[in-house]
Amino acid sequence: MYLTREQEKMLRGDYGWATAKAMEIIVKVGEALGADELVEIVHAHVSGISYSTIGRYGLEFIRDLARGGGKARVFTTVNPGCIDYSGYSSIIDNSLFEFQRLIDEALRKMEFKPVYTCIPYFYRPPTPGEHLAWGESSAVIFANSVYGGFTNREGGPVALAAALTGYTYKAGLHVVENRVGEVEIRVCASTSSTHIGALGLWIGENIKSIPYVRGLNYYSLDDIKNLLASAAASGNHALIVIEGVTPRNTFKLDLVERVEVDAKMLEGYMGGECHGTSILGYIGCPHTSPRELLYITRLLKKYGKPRRGKLLVTMPAEFARIYRDLILELKAMGVDIAAGTCPVVSRFRGGFDCIITNSGKALFYLKRIYKTNIKLAGVEAIVRHLGGA
Amino acid sequence: MVHRGRVKPVIPGSCNGDVVLVDSYISFFAEVNPDTGCLVAPSELCFRDAVLVFRGTRGSTVAPYIIYALRRNNTAPRCILVAEAEPMLIAGCVLAEIPLYVVEDYEGLVTSIRLAKKSAYLEVRGNEVLLYERV
């Protein structure tokens, strides 16, 4: 692989142990993928910072890099941790606080921006063609598909290494020739935003090459966020070209197959029936946008406080401060607020007989982690159901 | 020998042992328990110290840390053979120093493993994969 003089110095250890280790990881992964050179990035987003998911060896890895003098060379944001940073939640278990604190200290020492969210594009939306090194599968696919940013699904340690060096390997989706939509998916009018999570899960499981999706003109950006996150969970997609959304010149089309998807095909992906006495409604996977928070508030005013179960809403850590009035209003209406975390990367204090969520990604992971019944429903249907209407 | 095919070394290294086949895409996060070296879903197969053959990875980008934890817990497979290797899996194998190979005729290898009446033993020599049936 060709390295510039500066990159060689980094690899040799002239910039310290942590930078050398980070460069070694990037070069090795790049060489394995056949990259000839590295590419300069403008934003790294580091996933895998929750103690609940990475455990003590992940903690040691991150702390070693911080102790070794690692510092962010580009704007760097971080994924959710395993504790509720707002202190409002009674559902999220904060018992791993001491371990999470050690990770958070190391991240701050490396000068990463502690946003603790899976929607880093809220803080810095990428521009088309910009090179990024993002972890977090839902953020990667959103950056590529909606903003036209160029990033691979970097694993947590590679995104971290890219943050410390300012570079990543030039391969995969950093090259426009590899961003080619091959399977046209027509979404039939019989589907609605209720099915959007299921549609994502269906795409992830059934389509292996880069899809080109048509028929999403009437879906909101929050729906598209849900669809993309779900497809990246059940499959390994990092880019779904969406007609009218994905910026021109950031992808190519060479369609070899065409598929139509209707609501009937998605029934098997909607989860099981919800039985039992302890029901949790969950919205915020990926984290809620301010627009979604306003929408939930409006729905609660319409259908009343959650009476038939609890309602958990998760969001970026800073939202608890920035949108304090709105958050307190939601709390007053009986909503459990958790900021800077989510049930996928943390643990519940107690168990639930059933979870109703709008997110296909949440269904995919929560079913496996908590081994409980999960059902997909639209945001309005969740609030209506819990309100007892 | 019951099968002979070609492999592309992604992270070259010693690769031989009993085969554990999981013919699907795996999310290392939520589908693999790093403490035991066993799958949580779709089946409960254990792959500690074996040659792990599967289609490819899916899901969370936390995967490299889980693969790294497998190594540190001494529950890692000896090596991994897949149909598709994506950056996340490669990063995990680089950190954990697990040899990784992409199999050219993945379907052929899977069929041969399934046809082996007793347990299958696999060996990688250079760019070749050799599959034997245990006597």
pLDDT at A223: 96
Note the pLDDT tens digit of each residue in A214-246.
Answer: 999 999 999 999 999 999 999 999 999 999 999
Note the pLDDT tens digit of each residue in A122-171.
Answer: 999 999 999 999 999 999 999 999 999 999 999 899 999 999 999 999 99
- A contact residues 266-305, partner B, Cβ 8 Å cutoff: none
Rounded-to-integer distance, Cα B94 and Cα A309, Å: 45
CA R_g for chain A: 21
- Domains, chain B: 3-133 (3.50.30.10)
- Residue A316 is which amino acid? P
Find chain B residues with C-beta within 8 A of A368's C-beta: 30-31, 40-41
**Distance, in angstroms, between B95 CA and closest chain A CA?**
8
The catalytic site residues of B sit at 60
In this prediction, the answer to ipTM > 0.90 reads no
Contact B34 A55 (CB under 8 A): yes
Provide the 8-state DSSP code for B66. H
Band of residue A389 on the pLDDT scale cut at 50, 70, 90 = low
Q: Which residue of B has its CA nearest to A135?
A: B61
Contact B10 A32 (CB under 8 A): yes
pLDDT at B61: 84
Note the pLDDT tens digit of each residue in A335-365.
Answer: 999 999 999 999 999 889 999 999 999 999 9
pTM of the full structure: 0.92
- The beta-carbon neighbor of A155 closest among B25, B85, B92 is B92
* Dihedral sign from CA coordinates of B8, B11, B16, B18: negative
Rounded-to-integer distance, Cα A389 and Cα A133, Å: 45
For the segment B1-25, the average pLDDT, to the nearest whole number, is 94
- The beta-carbon neighbor of A25 closest among B29, B88, B94 is B94
Band of residue A276 on the pLDDT scale cut at 50, 70, 90 = confident
For the segment A107-129, the average pLDDT, to the nearest whole number, is 97
Q: Is the pLDDT of residue B42 over 70?
A: no
- Domains, chain A: 5-170 (3.30.499.10), 179-269 (no CATH), 279-387 (3.30.499.10)
Structure tokens at A232: 């990246």
Select the residue from B10, B38, B62 to test the A interface by mutation, using most A Cβ atoms within 10 A: B62
Beta pairing partners, A168: A39
Q: What angle do CA A145, A150, A151 make, to 5 degrees?
A: 95
For the segment A286-294, the average pLDDT, to the nearest whole number, is 97
Note the pLDDT tens digit of each residue in A302-328.
Answer: 999 999 999 999 999 999 999 999 999
Rounded-to-integer distance, Cα A325 and Cα A328, Å: 5
Q: Is the pLDDT of residue B7 over 70?
A: yes
pLDDT at B71: 94
Find chain A residues with C-beta within 8 A of B69's C-beta: 54-55, 57-58
**Distance, in angstroms, between A311 CA and closest chain B CA?**
24
Rounded-to-integer distance, Cα A103 and Cα A49, Å: 7
Distance (Å) of CA A153 to CA A45, A157, A275, A292, B16:
11, 11, 37, 26, 30
**Distance, in angstroms, between A139 CA and closest chain B CA?**
10
- What torsion, rounded to 10 degrees, do the Cα atoms B50, B55, B61, B67 define? 0
B51 close to B16: Cβ distance less than 8 angstroms: yes
For the segment B42-68, the average pLDDT, to the nearest whole number, is 91
Contact A155 B63 (CB under 8 A): yes
A306 close to A335: Cβ distance less than 8 angstroms: yes
Rounded-to-integer distance, Cα A254 and Cα A350, Å: 50
- Please give the backbone phi and psi of residue B101, each rounded to the nearest 5 degrees, phi first: -130, 145
Q: Is the pLDDT of residue A386 over 90?
A: yes
For the segment B104-120, the average pLDDT, to the nearest whole number, is 91
* Dihedral sign from CA coordinates of A44, A321, A226, B65: positive
Contact B64 A47 (CB under 8 A): no
Rounded-to-integer distance, Cα A71 and Cα A309, Å: 45
Distance (Å) of CA A83 to CA A46, A100, A343:
17, 7, 10
Structure tokens at A78: 């971080």
pLDDT at A135: 94
Q: Is the pLDDT of residue A185 over 90?
A: yes
Looking at every residue in chain A, the average pLDDT score rounds to: 96
Q: Which long-range contacts (CB under 8 A, 24 or more apart) does A18-22 make?
A: A18/A64, A18/A65, A18/A66, A18/A67, A18/A68, A18/A69, A18/A70, A18/A164, A19/A69, A19/A70, A19/A164, A19/A165, A21/A65, A21/A68, A21/A161, A22/A65, A22/A70, A22/A160, A22/A161, A22/A162, A22/A163, A22/A164, A22/A165
**Distance, in angstroms, between B59 CA and closest chain A CA?**
4
Note the pLDDT tens digit of each residue in A21-72.
Answer: 999 999 989 998 899 999 999 999 999 999 999 999 999 999 999 999 999 9
Find chain B residues with C-beta within 8 A of A364's C-beta: 59
Q: Is the pLDDT of residue B117 over 80?
A: no
pLDDT at A62: 96
Contact A157 B91 (CB under 8 A): yes
Q: Is the pLDDT of residue B119 over 90?
A: no
